[in-house]
Amino acid sequence: MIDRKFLIAGNWKMNGMFDSISEVCKIDQHSKELNSDLALCLPNTIINKAYENISNGKLIIGAQNCHHEESGAFTGDVSAEMLKNAGAKVIIVGHSERRQNYFENNELINKKATSVINSGLQVIICIGETEEEKNKGQTNDIVCSQLRNSIPIISNGENTVIAYEPIWAIGTGRIPSLEEIQSVHSRLRLLISEIKGAEIANKMRILYGGSVKPNNAKDIFALEDVDGALVGGASLKSEDFLGIANLCQ
């Protein structure tokens, strides 16, 4: 069995003010006790303050999205280089909320992921099927197409993480069966091997996301091809987030 270090990444989405930094600091303080990597992808407005206030642990501060260009006349947008300057070390791209609400396609996500990597940061590329696609038996076709077209040429096992998030499971309290999760993750790793080679496929971490809670994380983390989690609402409270992280020790 390949030894890949677990990554538990929190996605705060559009939540968090300056007074939320106390939760970030609590997570940071406990992160040094864990064997897994911990990351919090925060709103842009508090990234720098969070970065400046952590010091005791090994918490990684991240962002949730970026523009694919380094700079330019793109009102309201922020580049990977800017987020790096603010203290981010990892950036999420391709989250289903970006794909659905802002009509981001695989080509754009590939460009964003490439920009993140070229900035010297780690990228988390999100993929996942809708409930309708699942019911039609299209899960593997959908996620493999998303992965094949979203992953940059320059991706490797260190600079890229894949997060499988079934859209119908996000924030609903519903999750696929353990067999379904392992089946999808196994298929994704096989595809990475076909695209990048076995060595990179064995190193690249594939996270599960979608209603991950302290009461279901342990069983998910026991699956062979699951290397951690992308956590939504449960990452907003340090107790819940650390409760999940403790289960992958």
Using alpha carbons, list the distances in angstroms from residue 220 to 6, 10, 163, 209, 245.
12, 16, 14, 10, 12
pLDDT in tens, 157-168: 999 999 999 999
State yes or no: is 165 an active-site residue: yes
Instruction: Please state, rounded to an integer, the average pLDDT across all residues of the chain.
Output: 97
What total of structural domains would you count in the chain? 1
SS (H, E, C) 82-137: HHHHHCCCEEEECCHHHHHHCCCCHHHHHHHHHHHHHCCCEEEEEECCCHHHHHCC
Is 51 a member of any domain?
yes
Share of the chain above pLDDT 90, in %: 95
Is 1 a member of any domain?
no
Closest CA to 210 of 183, 168, 170: 170
Is 72 a member of any domain?
yes
Q: How many other CB atoms are found less than 10 A from the CB of residue 197?
A: 12
Confidence of residue 135 (pLDDT cuts 50, 70, 90): very high
Closest CA to 60 of 152, 124, 14: 124
pLDDT at 179: 98
Say which residue, 249 or 6, is predicted with more confidence.
Answer: 6
State yes or no: is 185 an active-site residue: no
Confidence of residue 1 (pLDDT cuts 50, 70, 90): low
Task: State the catalytic residue, choosing from 81, 104, 129, 165.
Answer: 165
- Neighbour-count burial of 181, counting CB atoms closer than 10 A to its CB (0-12 exposed, 13-18 middle, 19+ buried): buried
Is 2 a member of any domain?
no
Predicted TM-score (pTM) of this structure: 0.97
pLDDT in tens, 6-63: 999 999 999 999 999 999 999 999 998 899 999 999 999 999 999 999 987 799 999 9
Task: State the catalytic residue, choosing from 30, 67, 95, 185.
Answer: 95
CATH assignment at residue 59? 3.20.20.70
Domain extent at residue 178? 7-248
Is 152 a member of any domain?
yes
